[in-house]
Amino acid sequence: MQRAFVLKHAGPAPRYTSYPTAPHFHAGIDGDVYARWLGQLKPGQSLSLYVHIPWCDRLCWFCGCNTKQTRKYDPLETYLSALENEIETISSLVDPGCQVTALHLGGGSPTMLKPEDMVWLDKALRSRFQFADDAEISVEMDPNDLDEGRYDALAEIGLTRASIGVQDFDERVQQAINREQTFEQTREVVEQVRKRGVRSVNCDVLYGLPHQTRASVDDTIGKVISLNPDRIALFGYAHVPWMKTHQKMIDETALPDVTERFAQMNRASSLLTAAGYTAIGFDHFALPADSLAIAAASGEMRRNFQGYTSDTADALIGLGASSIGQLPQGYIQNQPSTGEYQRQVNLGRLPVVRGFELSEEDRLRARVIELLMCDFAFSFAAIRQEFGPAAEDVLDEAEYLASCDTDGMVEFSGGLFQVTAKGRPFVRSIASAFDSYFENGTARHSLAV
């Protein structure tokens, strides 16, 4: 019975880090449009910066990021020079009265950067943008890259949140995904960043990996809990070899099926909540004092291309190859090819290859989907207040969906549409019912659990 239920509701669905999702971006949004959007930002508006470093010194086979492997440092030096040109071009278009409240270095492996280059990049950004005194500085980390010099550089740039990839500590699983990393290495990273004053540590854990079992998940979660991270992201491995060809290195026969994935997710969730972590959305956990838990409890949590966040900036500016930006008018994405990205920015151009301008209906559906993903509910009265008469068609869809539900996934009562406890693991599938582009799209997605 449970297998049939899971199979019915765990079909492929977007992760909804945006709406519309990235496969619906198009070439009609270019650098000229982006320049106009940037110019419309007003003094006092807040900015979040995302800087993409698309290089790793090894390629993890499970990875879904835009990155490539290099054993040499020369490509990174060339890339940083181009990145400085993009920073210069964008900062010249943004009103100097805008203030940066968050900076995130992602990849790839930002911790591949030499210590002096980490400090240089931070200074390049701060010399061209106004940073708030309490701006959050977060960096994605590969424990295999880190040493004393890099720890000191991270402290110098004001690191406030360390995000550490764990995946799974089982050696067989690590070998199957080409990501060997001991628990001792990971513990050392946590100790070193905390010694340097970092107040928040996040660990990323995966389930659904090749050779993974509930027992290996138990062991990994237990070890992660022993590190006392402030946040834990529990992601289901997204096997998309048609998009990420290196995933073809993974033996598909060793992947757990959808019901085993579901069981692994439930087991990990139970262990984390029993250890005092608050469940956040469908794949995050946080200690009650963490800012994400506080944002979730107050209804202020948001969702963007980095997942669940307490970042409420008015605009997200993506810097670097393949980076995605989110402005009040819509989304843009940079050229993913590092060579072409570098050529464009070195000519002083904005390297935008596609994007999406939001209509009023898009904004309405985006808000409903974000509320479902963050709060598992939305109030009809609040949606009407925000969007007026235009909201009625979507609200009718919600009421109809609830009336047709025979599996106890959603309910509608007292003007509140909400996902039930039974439906929460499948919230991506539920959200897709409000996605007007989903059925007509050609994109393929990972499983919804």
CATH assignment of the domain containing 76 = 3.80.30.20
Same domain for 92 and 147: yes
Please indicate, yes or no, if residue 37 is contained in any of the structural domains.
yes
Distance CA 53, CA 44 (A): 28
Query: Which is nearest to 243 in space by CA: 21, 23, 13?
Result: 23
Distance CA 134, CA 292 (A): 16
Structure tokens at 422: 């039974």
Query: Of 357, 374, 396, which one is at a domain's C-terminal end?
Result: 357
Same domain for 393 and 308: no
Please indicate, yes or no, if residue 442 is contained in any of the structural domains.
no
Q: How many domains, the chain?
A: 2
Does residue 68 contact residue 123 with C-beta atoms inside 8 Å?
no
Same domain for 376 and 329: no
Which domain range does residue 193 map to? Answer: 11-357
Query: What are the residue ranges of helices labelled H in 42-201?
Result: 74-93, 115-126, 148-156, 171-177, 183-195
Please indicate, yes or no, if residue 209 is contained in any of the structural domains.
yes
Distance CA 302, CA 308 (A): 6
Same domain for 393 and 315: no
Please indicate, yes or no, if residue 444 is contained in any of the structural domains.
no
pTM to 2 decimal places: 0.94
Please indicate, yes or no, if residue 437 is contained in any of the structural domains.
no
Same domain for 221 and 157: yes
DSSP string, 131-146: EEEEEEEEEEE-GGG-
Supply the pLDDT for residue 1.
45
Same domain for 260 and 399: no
Amino acid identity for residue 69 in this structure: Q
Which residues of the chain have a pLDDT value below 50?
A: 1
Distance CA 446, CA 384 (A): 33
Same domain for 262 and 384: no
Same domain for 281 and 170: yes
Please indicate, yes or no, if residue 443 is contained in any of the structural domains.
no
Supply the pLDDT for residue 34.
98
Distance CA 61, CA 245 (A): 9
Supply the pLDDT for residue 62.
87
Same domain for 307 and 261: yes
How many C-beta neighbours within 10 Å does residue 348 have? 11
Please indicate, yes or no, if residue 441 is contained in any of the structural domains.
no
Same domain for 240 and 208: yes
Question: How many angstroms separate the most distant Cα atoms in the chain?
Answer: 61
Please indicate, yes or no, if residue 255 is contained in any of the structural domains.
yes
Same domain for 259 and 132: yes
Query: Of 357, 386, 421, which one is at a domain's C-terminal end?
Result: 357
Structure tokens at 248: 């073809």
Supply the pLDDT for residue 66.
87
Query: Of 357, 384, 408, which one is at a domain's C-terminal end?
Result: 357
CATH number of the domain within which 408 lies = 1.10.10.920
What three-state secondary structure class fits 265?
helix
Same domain for 344 and 233: yes
